Amino acid sequence: MLGHFARTVSFISIALLMPAANAGAAQNGHPEQKCNADEIHWTITGLTSVTFDWRGDEDKIRYGATIGYGQTGTGNIPKPLPFSSAGPFRQAPLTALTPNALYHYSIGTCPDHTFRTPFPPGSANFIIDAEGDIGSSRDYKDVLPVQELIAAHVPAAVLVLGDLSLANPNGQASVDQHFNDMMVWSQDVPYMPAWGNHEWDVARNDDLRNYKGRFGLPNPQTSPGVPNPGCCGQDWSWFDYGNARFIAYPEPYTVQTWADWYMKTNRLMDEAQRDPNITFIVTFGHRAPFTSGYHHSDLDLRHYIARLAAKHKKYALNVNGHSHDYERSYPVNGVVSVTAGIGGSELEELNTACLFRLCPKPSWSAFRAMHFGILQLRFTPTVIEGTYICGPGGGGKNDISCTSGSVVDRFTIRAAEK
Ligand SMILES: [Fe+2]
Ligand SMILES: [Fe+2]
207-260, pLDDT tens digit by residue?
999 999 999 999 999 999 998 889 999 999 999 999 999 999 999 999 999 999
CA of 273 to the centre of ligand 2 (A): 31
| Phi, psi of 144, deg, nearest 5 | -65, -45
H or E element, residue 192: strand 191-194
With bands split at pLDDT 50, 70 and 90, how would you rate the model's confidence at 7? very low
Helix axes 2-17, 143-151, angle to 10 degrees: 140
Report the C-alpha gap between 122 and 137 in whole angstroms: 38
The per-residue pLDDT for 417 is 77
Closest alpha carbon to 161 in 115, 209, 129, 126: 129
Report the C-alpha gap between 25 and 31 in whole angstroms: 6
The 3 state secondary structure assigned to 61-79 is EEEECCCCCCEEEECECCC
The per-residue pLDDT for 33 is 59
CA of 196 to the centre of ligand 1 (A): 7
CA of 345 to the centre of ligand 1 (A): 8
**Residue 3, helix vs strand vs coil:** helix
Segment 266-282 mean pLDDT: 98
The per-residue pLDDT for 4 is 37
Judge whether residue 91 has pLDDT over 90: yes
| Domains (range + CATH), the chain | 2-116 (2.60.40.380), 126-414 (3.60.21.10)
Q: Are strands 102-107 and 60-64 parallel, antiparallel or unpaired?
A: antiparallel
The per-residue pLDDT for 34 is 79
The per-residue pLDDT for 25 is 37
CA of 364 to the centre of ligand 2 (A): 22
Residue ranges near ligand 2 (ion) with Cβ within 5 Å: 163, 196-197, 322
The per-residue pLDDT for 394 is 75
CA of 161 to the centre of ligand 2 (A): 9
Share of the chain above pLDDT 70, in %: 91
The predicted model scores a pTM of 0.92
CB 327 within 8 A of CB 339: yes
CA of 133 to the centre of ligand 1 (A): 4
CB 41 within 8 A of CB 53: yes
Give the chain's mean pLDDT.
92
